[in-house]
Structure 1
Amino acid sequence: MSPAAQHLRDEGTRTQVIAAGAAAGLVSRFCIAPLDVLKIRLQLQYHSLVDPLSRPFPNGVVAVARDIVRHEGITGFWKGNIPAEGLYLSYGAVQFLAYRSTNQFLDTIAEGQDVKLPGTVKSFIAGAVAGTAATTATYPLDLLRTRFAAQGTERVYAGLVASVKDITRNEGYTGFFRGLTAGIGQIVPYMGLFFSLYEGLKTPLSTVNLPFGSGDAVAGVTASVLSKCAVFPLDTVRKRLQVQGPTRSKYIGGARIPVYERGIWNTMTTILRREGTRGLYRGLGVSLIKAAPASAVTMWTYERALKLMMTVEEKAEELEIKA
């Protein structure tokens, strides 16, 4: 194959990776949107250990779900879905492209230095880089998703365009990146652990006969659950920081949340001091329930979409050769 033809083939492969990652994120987001709204509402609940009367109402997953249905209707479970769809669509594409590119780069470095990196180390590094790139590139959408999901019957923003204008005018461009450090601090170990565990589990589970065909889904679920438990406190910190600013008191539970002004460590210690360890893990149960179908759908869709596109390309090449 000529260098020009090889270049075109490589570009096509990258396009397939982007498309497969985007499809995986889109399908996954649609399926777990209601659970995501519940998780965010729970993470923003504040309960002071020294003030029993500060106990949030509604309290608990079922109570929060009933409250949403009663006051906001069934569509309340899809609040923030527009920026969330954009988030997951672009996040999936950036994540898988960065993961693949980093793996290829590490292979090139290893070959040049005649060094063999262990598979888990390579997966951890590639996952961490992919998570950092995807989180940073899509963070404004993540912040908008959180703020819309935290809106109750009182609308803080009239719409997506209005929210962008309002944040730019009142908080500046840095307002779109509130809590980014916590996001990166969470995603680096999470994605590193996730991809390491996923790559390690995918091979031994590949021979397991399951509905829909393979053990990819089980590997994705297991990797996601274990990784999520390890970094969940940083996710709570990120959510609390994302609703800081001039509109904080307008969100569900926002009026009770203290003002956090000195970064991740101060926010985490404040939550521990005032709410105890439980305060850092509010919504973990919903998050784990969400992580299972989300990761299963994401990895299953990614693997199948990529395989389908590669099959279509091979068929097209066969027809071209015959012609």
Structure 2
Amino acid sequence: MTSERQANTYKGTRTQVVAAGAIAGLVSRFCIAPLDVLKIRLQLQYHSLSDPLSANLRRPSGVLDVARNIWKHEGITGFWKGNIPAEGLYLSYGAVQFLAYRSTNQAIDALAQKGEVKIPGTVKSFVAGAIAGTAATTATYPLDLLRTRFAAQGTEKVYTGLLASIRDITRHEGPTGFFRGLSAGVGQVIPYMGLFFAFYEGLKQPLSTVHLPFGSGDAVAGVTASVVSKSIVFPLDTVRKRLQVQGPTRSKFVGGARRPVYDRGIAATMGTIVQREGWRALYRGLSVSLIKAAPASAVTMWTYERALHVLQRFEEEA
């Protein structure tokens, strides 16, 4: 069974893959929730390079400053703001992602067996990862937007609860309000997930002989793949976060009173950020994102592989 488990991430029945992906998403989210809140707060900070009022204010706060501010004014629960929609996001995202990844790989393999297409392993992993990421991002985007908005709430409450937020967005922004920034999300996830799975599949086999306290090299491959991929596409993640807090309640979120209105698409938003805040603003929060990416990906892939293995063994013994 060990050699079977190490052979391919997408092996297993459809039910096993969905269950293992969901478990991996839940465990990963619980572990990295505080880092996620810190990253979002950093990405939403606004500091104009030309506005005299803004220029006289303090430079954008660092990670420790943001953490201390949350602890002082919001308490420890502030680090888990948005956790309910985020748990739903990670649960459904993980399930859809791994199911789509498995299904795409199987479809490509079927075409290869018929001689209709021949794709190298790394390219196949990239294509499958990109399709899986796009499907998962689109299907779960409303939860992603809600997670961001709750995490962006400071001491001022924008929404009193999850149901209230859904009613408010529906009433004042319409159904499209739940998909603000989706184009940036898809534009980010295609290269990110494609690169992630390509790196992961390429590294998993060479690292399979590495023995670590918590298992094989699955976690190391996941960490490496995530860090490299995340660094490449991070500016699009910042654009996505800025777009997600647009709308009637924009000024109520952290840093929103001075932040410009972004309503002209990805390129225009990115150009506005660079023009007003400098190119470094696109990478604000990258350090936290990379710190988050390492344990998140390691826990996700490690938990997924183990959960899938346990489910397979359970079915064999039943």
TM category (shorter chain) comes to: over 0.9
Tell me, yes or no, if the aligned pair for 1:58 and 1:67 is still in contact at 8 Å. Answer: no
| Letter of the 2:188 counterpart | Q
Partner of 2:171: 169
Given candidates 117, 120, 126, the residue that maps to 1:118 is: 120
1:131-175: per-residue Cα shift (whole Å, max 9, x none)? 000000000000000000000111000100000000000000000
Q: Distance in 2 between matches of 1:177 and 1:212?
A: 38
Partner of 2:100: 98
Q: Distance in 2 between matches of 1:300 and 1:99?
A: 17
Q: Distance in 2 between matches of 1:141 and 1:261?
A: 21
| Letter of the 1:45 counterpart | Q
- How far 1:280 moved relative to its partner? 0.3
- How far 1:210 moved relative to its partner? 0.7
Farther-moved stretch of structure 1 (139-148 vs 115-124): 115-124
Partner of 2:20: 20
Greater than 6 Å deviation, 4+ residue runs = none
- How far 1:114 moved relative to its partner? 5.2
SS at match of 1:265: helix
| Letter of the 1:179 counterpart | G
With over 3 angstroms needed to count, the CA separation of the structure-2 counterparts of 1:256 and 1:81, relative to structure 1, is same
Tell me, yes or no, if the aligned pair for 1:45 and 1:56 is still in contact at 8 Å. Answer: no
1:192-224: per-residue Cα shift (whole Å, max 9, x none)? 000000000000000001111100000000000
Partner of 1:301: 303
Partner of 1:315: 317
Partner of 2:72: 70
Partner of 1:42: 42
| Letter of the 2:293 counterpart | A
- How far 1:261 moved relative to its partner? 1.1
Partner of 1:264: 266
> What is the identity percentage for the equivalent residue pairs of Structure 1 and Structure 2?
80
Identify unmatched segments of 5+ residues in structure 1.
1-11, 317-323
Partner of 2:86: 84
1:266-285: per-residue Cα shift (whole Å, max 9, x none)? 00011111111111000000
Tell me, yes or no, if the aligned pair for 2:126 and 2:197 is still in contact at 8 Å. Answer: yes
Q: Distance in 1 between matches of 2:297 and 2:305?
A: 12
- How far 1:13 moved relative to its partner? 1.0
Cα RMSD after superposing both structures: 1.5
What pairs with 1:169-248 in structure 2 (closer than 5 Å)? 169-248=171-250
- How far 1:53 moved relative to its partner? 4.8
Q: Distance in 2 between matches of 1:208 and 1:256?
A: 50
With normalisation by structure 2, the TM-score equals: 0.94
Farther-moved stretch of structure 1 (185-194 vs 43-52): 43-52
2:3 is equivalent to residue 32 of structure 1: no
| Letter of the 1:232 counterpart | F
| Letter of the 1:299 counterpart | M
Tell me, yes or no, if the aligned pair for 1:46 and 1:56 is still in contact at 8 Å. Answer: no
Q: Which has the greater radius of gyration? A: 1
- How far 1:40 moved relative to its partner? 0.3
Q: Distance in 2 between matches of 1:143 and 1:169?
A: 16
Number of aligned residue pairs: give it: 307
Q: Distance in 2 between matches of 1:199 and 1:44?
A: 34
Tell me, yes or no, if the aligned pair for 1:87 and 1:141 is still in contact at 8 Å. Answer: yes
Partner of 1:321: none
- How far 1:315 moved relative to its partner? 1.3
- How far 1:52 moved relative to its partner? 6.3
1:220-250: per-residue Cα shift (whole Å, max 9, x none)? 0000000000000000000000000000000
With over 3 angstroms needed to count, the CA separation of the structure-2 counterparts of 1:56 and 1:244, relative to structure 1, is farther
1:285-317: per-residue Cα shift (whole Å, max 9, x none)? 00000000000000000000000000111112x
2:62 is equivalent to residue 60 of structure 1: yes
What pairs with 1:104-143 in structure 2 (closer than 5 Å)? 104-113=106-115, 115-143=117-145
With normalisation by structure 1, the TM-score equals: 0.93
Tell me, yes or no, if the aligned pair for 2:154 and 2:253 is still in contact at 8 Å. Answer: yes
Partner of 1:6: none
Q: Distance in 2 between matches of 1:115 and 1:256?
A: 53
| Letter of the 2:185 counterpart | G
Partner of 2:275: 273
Q: Distance in 1 between matches of 2:313 and 2:189?
A: 33
